[in-house]
Amino acid sequence: MPGSVFTFYSFKGGVGRSFTLANVAVLLARWGHRVLCLDWDLEAPGLVDYFRPRLPRGPGGGVVDLVDDFRRGRFAPGAHVLRLKDVGELDFIAAGREEPGYIGQVQEIDWEGLYDEGFGEYLDKCREQWAADYDFVLIDSRTGISDIGGICTAHLPDHLVLLFTANRQSVLGAMEAARRADAARNLLPFDRARLTVLPVLSRFDNREEYDRSEAWRRIVVEETAELYRTWLDQAVEPETMSRHLTLPYVSYWSFGEQLPVLSEKTPSADQIGFALETVAAVIACRLDRTDLLAENRDAYVAAVRASRQQFKHELRVSTPRTAFGTATELVSELEKRDVRAVKSLSGDRSLLARTDDDARHLCLVVDGKVSRWQAAEVELFLHRTLGQDRRVIPILTAGTEAAALPGYVGNLRYLRLSASRGPAEVARDLVGQLKGFAPLVDTDEDLDLVALLGQARGARLRPSRWDLVDELVTTLQTAVGAGDGDRTRDLATELAVVVKPRTPNGDDHHAAPPRVRQSIDWLLRTLDARAQTTTKPNHRKDLG
């Protein structure tokens, strides 16, 4: 999937545009994404000051040098890239060299003439290369209405992050720029989807004059409502999303060029890092899954944060003390099958205090009942798992009744330990589930459906009983195909009674008719197959 290009734009200065972009870029990179930032505010570049402490050296070139590259017939969109230190895969292209001749270099550029010469096609190839090399390309655009602003807001982006403060000049100017960008985009000779716009209310202080701040929030939502229609989930109100997309004013961070997300690793709701995480998460989801955000902001951000996480373990096996030995054997059997597994004992408080999981999936060994610690583990796991392919897989010990378990466990597809199925057999089936495969139906341990069908195929019965077998096998095909384990067990029990060996009485006992043998063979082949059950997040939209 190619990367997405986001332009950060504000009609007026002083709204925290570069501040927001720099912090969002650091978050995305820290969450495991490949990120490229470009400072396209050529007349007043400032993004470099946020990144300077982590740059290996000063910029030796930048965006303005793309023009020289074009004129010389040189295609090198990555020639001016600098990699920041200690924040993941975060690259930066500055506006240009930091030297006295830079201003003259900018002033000499005739953007309209360049486009007449084919610079638009050249820039589009650069864009394609950046999108191929990175997950997210973030562009810092200059303020106001300008040729450069048109390049940044219409030509290059997939999405526009529109920042404004709570005054009419800022809001209405930003809205006008968004409309101009949409109109200009329709005239481009390039294949582009409709521009989607993310409105962000910045530097908003509602700690004092609360009533006035709420009145202005209503004004902002009213003026920007049209921007939500192309991407916001229908079940979510713009006012709700506006609150999630509001950056508070915190005076401490207004001094100098700072990156609070580096110091606020787990920010509380009253810290600016909390709001920046929310905006970054929406961008990471490419403005998708907003219904999940409205439902639970913390789970939404946690899910995004972990989406690229490299887990130390594939599976955590949670066990009460009564099943400790069994769980130990299970972990050993999983390791024999190259599954990275770790055991956790109920009551380990350290698990509940961690900010992130170190295992992708949770295996719950249930011995009679779900312990209160296991219940807490499951709740925390599900809280962190919203929208991800991470699973809870219960394993029930012999005698544990699934119907007596809480719904969040008893309703899951489970595996069972028994006298005939120990840790080795359960580990084998568990690996199958982790790889996305599972039996079509679960049957009782004392009922071997495959063996029963083999017995039926070789039986000698009266014609009336073969008619009954034919009916049962046909119904079994439907139950197995639907994955209905309960119905399958009931039908198999009936079939076992019908084909039970009896002493022949006369010559009216016959082998299975061809039609019945074919039905049984089809069902045997079906049972031998496995159905892929990999869970995929349910996205409402795909704005790519």
Average pLDDT over residues 204-210: 79
pLDDT at 428: 87
The alpha carbon dihedral of 209, 210, 216, 220 has a sign of: positive
- Tell me the whole-structure pTM to 2 decimals: 0.65
Q: 125 pLDDT exceeds 60?
A: yes
At 258-303, the pLDDT tens digits run: 999 999 878 888 899 999 999 999 999 999 989 989 999 988 898 8
According to DSSP, the β-strands at 136-141 and 90-93 are unpaired
> Within 13 Å and on the Cβ side, how many CA atoms surround 272?
24
Both tokens assigned to 503: 């002493």
According to DSSP, the β-strands at 313-319 and 196-204 are unpaired
* Percent with pLDDT over 90 in the chain: 43
Say how many Å lie between the first and final Cα of the chain, rounded: 8
Measured N-to-C along each axis, helices 514-528 and 449-457 cross at an angle, to the nearest 10 degrees, of: 160
pLDDT category at 500 given cuts 50, 70, 90 is confident
Separation of CA 338 from chain center? 26
At 47-90, the pLDDT tens digits run: 999 999 999 999 989 999 998 899 999 998 888 999 999 999 99
Q: 544 pLDDT exceeds 50?
A: no
Say which residues have a Cβ less than 8 Å from residue 274's Cβ, sequence separation at least 6.
264, 267, 268
Q: 447 pLDDT exceeds 70?
A: no
pLDDT at 529: 57
Sheet holding 341-345, edge to edge: 341-345, 313-319, 359-366, 392-396, 415-416
Following CA atoms 227, 140, 304, 288 in sequence, which dihedral angle do they give, to the nearest 10 degrees? 20
